[in-house]
Chains A and B, each alone.
Chain A
Amino acid sequence: MRWQRLRGLEVVETAGGQTLGRVDGLELDGERAAVRALRVGDRAVPWERIGAGEHDRVGHDAVTVEHERALEPRDGASLDPVGTAVLSDAGVRLGRLVDLELDDRTGEVRRLLLGDDDLAGDRLRGVGSYAVVVAASGDAAGAAPGSSTTGGDPPTR
């Protein structure tokens, strides 16, 4: 399941059928590389409180919760990571985030999709207002965009 599909879905309370809002952001757990909660304006619904079906947590046309009490108050703006710069923890910019591929049941990040590359989800370290931070790999470390190398020399800035 892609984040771009999840974003904008209505959040509906199954107890009374009320629409509580729309998904407009994510809270990600960097240590687990998984979605902790979905932001709905100034509230958030924890991932484990989503859905009541036997299969996927997120429905095709809406996110359902049993009751409005499942939504918790939140301070600060919702965070939509699409378009955010992706940096390795070695301080190298890898690109911009285009989308996230999520596990439909667990909310784990399977892959981070950049413009011309994609990264394994377990490399995720954190998502913030400035950058998405991922663990550096042996291939990505030192690969500064626009830099030049000669004969295997590390890049220069």
Chain B
Amino acid sequence: MSCLMRSSAVVGLPVVTLAGESPFEIKDVVFDRSAGAIVGFTLRKHGFLGGPVDQVVDGSDLLALGPDAAVVADDRSLRVPTTPLGDDGEPVIGDRVLSRSGTDLGTVVELIIEGGPHPEVVGMEVAPTDALVAPEGRAFLPLPHSGAISADNVVVPDGTSAHARPDLRGFAQVVHTFRHELEGEPA
């Protein structure tokens, strides 16, 4: 598994070409709600006050997402899209996390992204309800490869709460174990 990153840390990363130029930085992460895959990034000019630009990075043009940069082949990968990138764009942050059997586990605070050539949302930080054991007032939950994320709720398999962690240490292994267990569950 590649580097794990908070979605808030991905915003503002430079987009760098293999020629060593960086025309823009990441403005927003766009992902496929049903698959958890990153479909691309919207862009903005560099700097805190950098305004948005029309160009985007489509996931198919991304060479890698790392902790310090998103890498593309060249500036032809920074294209003005002819169709919208991703779905309706409703943010997941603030969604309720609901188990399949209907237990409210908390509210999404942050998404956890695995970097690499095919970045993916692998987990989330939640502001927990009493249903989660969270002595530090926050919990990190793994997500399956595909899930149910609507405009209001993130629905997770029963048993997800058993894999809750207080921080990201060891979280990559938690995701691996959680997904491996799910693959063995009956349909």
Instruction: Point out residues on A near B: beta carbons under 8 Å.
Output: 30, 84, 87-93, 125-133, 136, 141-142, 144-145, 147-148, 150-151, 153-157
Contact string against A for B residues 1-44, beta-carbon threshold 8 Å, 1 for contact and 0 otherwise: 11111100100011011111110000000000000000000000
Residue numbers in B under 8 Å from A136 (CB-CB): 64
Q: Which residues of A contact B70 (CB under 8 A)?
A: 91
> Which residue of A89, A125, A132, A144 has the most chain B CB atoms within 10 A of its CB atom?
A89
- Given the interface pairs A130-B22, A131-B20, the reply to whether A156 lies near B68 with Cβ below 8 Å is no
Using Cβ atoms and an 8 Å threshold, which residues of chain A touch B14? Answer: 130
From DSSP, what is the main secondary structure of chain A's interface residues? loop
Task: Give chain A nearest CB distance to B132 CB in angstroms.
Answer: 20
Task: Among A92, A127, A150, point to the contact of B67 (Cβ < 8 A).
Answer: A92
Residues of B within 8 A of A89 (CB): 18, 63-64, 71
Contact of A87 among B4, B16, B115, B116 (CB under 8 A): B16
A95 CA / B136 CA spacing, docked (Å)? 35
Query: Which of A87, A141, A157 counts the most B-chain CB atoms under 10 A from its CB?
Result: A157
Q: Are B18 and A91 in contact (CB under 8 A)?
A: no
Not counting A91-B16, A91-B67, A91-B115, a sample of 14 additional A-B residue pairs whose C-beta atoms are within 8 angstroms of each other reads A30-B18, A90-B116, A91-B64, A91-B66, A92-B3, A92-B66, A93-B69, A128-B19, A133-B16, A144-B67, A147-B67, A153-B172, A154-B1, A155-B3
- Choose, from B89-97, B99-107, B163-171, the stretch at the interface: B163-171
Contacts of A150 in B (CB 8 A): 169-170
Measured between alpha carbons, how far is A87 from B71 in the docked complex, in Å? 9
Determine whether the beta carbon of A90 is less than 8 Å from that of B1: no
A144 touches B20 (CB 8 A): no
Shortest beta-carbon distance from A86 to chain B in Å: 10
Take A30-B18, A157-B9 as given contacts and tell me if A151 and B170 are in contact as well, using a CB distance cutoff of 8 Å: yes
Task: Determine whether the beta carbon of A93 is less than 8 Å from that of B3.
Answer: no
The 6 sampled A-B contact pairs (Cβ below 8 Å) are A89-B18, A89-B64, A91-B66, A93-B67, A133-B19, A151-B173
Whether B121 is near chain A, meaning CB under 8 Å from some CB there, is no
Whether A153 contacts B170 by the Cβ 8 Å rule is yes
Most chain A beta carbons < 10 A, residue from B66, B71, B116:
B66
Given A88-B66, A93-B68, A157-B9: A133 in contact with B18 (beta carbons within 8 A): yes
- Chain B residues 91 to 144 lying within 8 A of chain A, measured CB to CB, are 115-116
Residues from chain A with Cβ under 8 Å of B57 in the complex: none
A89 to B68, CA, bound (A): 10
Chain B residues with CB under 8 Å of A90's CB are 2, 64, 66, 71, 115-116
A132 to B18, CA, bound (A): 8
The 4 closest A-B pairs by CB, nearest first: A91-B66, A128-B20, A144-B67, A130-B22
